[in-house]
Amino acid sequence: MTQNELYVPKGASANAQYAVDIDPKRAGWAHSSLRIVELAAGGTHTFTSGDSEWIVLPLEGGCTVHVGTEEFQLLGRESVFAGVSDFAYVPRDAQATIASGAGGRFALAGAKCERRLPARYGPAPEVPVEERGSGTQLRHVRNFASADAFDCDKLIAVEVVTPGGNWSSYPPHKHDEHRPGVEAELEEIYYFEIDGPNGFGYQRVSPSREGGSDVLAEVRSGDAVLVPDGWHGPSVAQPGHDMYYLNVMAGPGETREWRICFHPDHTEGYR
């Protein structure tokens, strides 16, 4: 893919329903999806999950998620920088409605899947949070739907907050080959928000093979970067402006796992 195809600036994938709408057809791959729905006070949004499983994740505000006879009250949060959020899992072949009394913004992280798992609530206190790296490589990872934290069929999704001036997604790493026990093949979407007005960051994706993905993008709130293959990282936050990104991943492997390979030229000095 070209840089223009991999970098999705704010508004480029918007439509009447979603502020961001990246499905496999738009991305040019087979599994991963991301939608961002914005609701005014008292607003509702109904969608059919189809052949995909979805997680409804509040970015700003709270909501109620109805899935069949199930109802999940999501307290949400003031912003992605305020801490972890609770969330709701919507299985394939279902209809769901999101309703928000005060309004807000909500991410729908999706993946094509085979099994139909039950609709469920994900409590915020049960989300594992880890500090990864140290010094200027420190970042905070919220593993709300990592492969070992929450049961899905194919979907893997995490949040990362990088303090202003720091690097994350470092060392550069890849997951574009099926190598059992070593590397898993996963398509990935990065969705960004930057704390404070006029904040920005940078995202690098470099080729892991001849003709592979190659992009260096200046990213701002509402932007996304697609990673179908290649070494991705670093993600660099502007000094004074924390950077958030939501990672959505899925792939063809029979086992749902996150296995990555670090770039051999950039591991020295990693903390």
DSSP 8-state code for residue 242: -
Does the residue 162 lie in any domain?
yes
269 within some domain? no
Q: Is the pLDDT of residue 199 over 90?
A: yes
The alpha-carbon radius of gyration of the chain (Å, integer) is 17
Residue 254: per-residue pLDDT: 93
- CATH number of the domain residue 29 falls in: 2.60.120.10
Residue 262 covered by a domain? no
Residue 179 has pLDDT above 70, yes or no: yes
d(CA 204, CA 230): 10
Decide if 264 is inside a domain. Answer: no
Total domain count, the chain: 1
Q: Is residue 19 part of a domain?
A: yes
Q: What is the pLDDT of residue 217?
A: 97
Chain Cα centroid distance, residue 189 = 6
Chain centroid, CA 45 distance in Å: 20
Q: d(Cα 85, Cα 125) in Å, to the nearest integer?
A: 9
Task: Give me the pLDDT at residue 266, please.
Answer: 82
Question: What share of the chain in percent tops pLDDT 70?
Answer: 97
Q: Which residues of 6-16 are buried (b: 16+ CB within 10 A; e: fewer)?
A: bbbebeebeee
Q: Which amino acid is at 104?
A: G
| CA-wise closest residue to 62 among 47, 72, 49 | 72
pLDDT given for residue 264 in this prediction:
87
> Looking at the domain assignment, is residue 88 inside a domain?
yes
Across 121-144, average pLDDT: 97
Over residues 205-216, the pLDDT tens digits come to: 999 999 999 999
Dump pLDDT digits (tens) for 73-101.
999 999 999 999 999 999 999 999 999 99
pLDDT in tens, 221-271: 999 999 999 999 999 999 999 999 999 999 999 999 999 999 988 876 554
Do the domain assignments include residue 98?
yes
Determine the 3-state secondary structure of 230 from DSSP: coil
Domain extent at residue 182: 6-252
Q: Is residue 1 part of a domain?
A: no
Compute CA distances 204 → 126, 167, 186, 215, 237, whole Å: 32, 11, 17, 6, 12
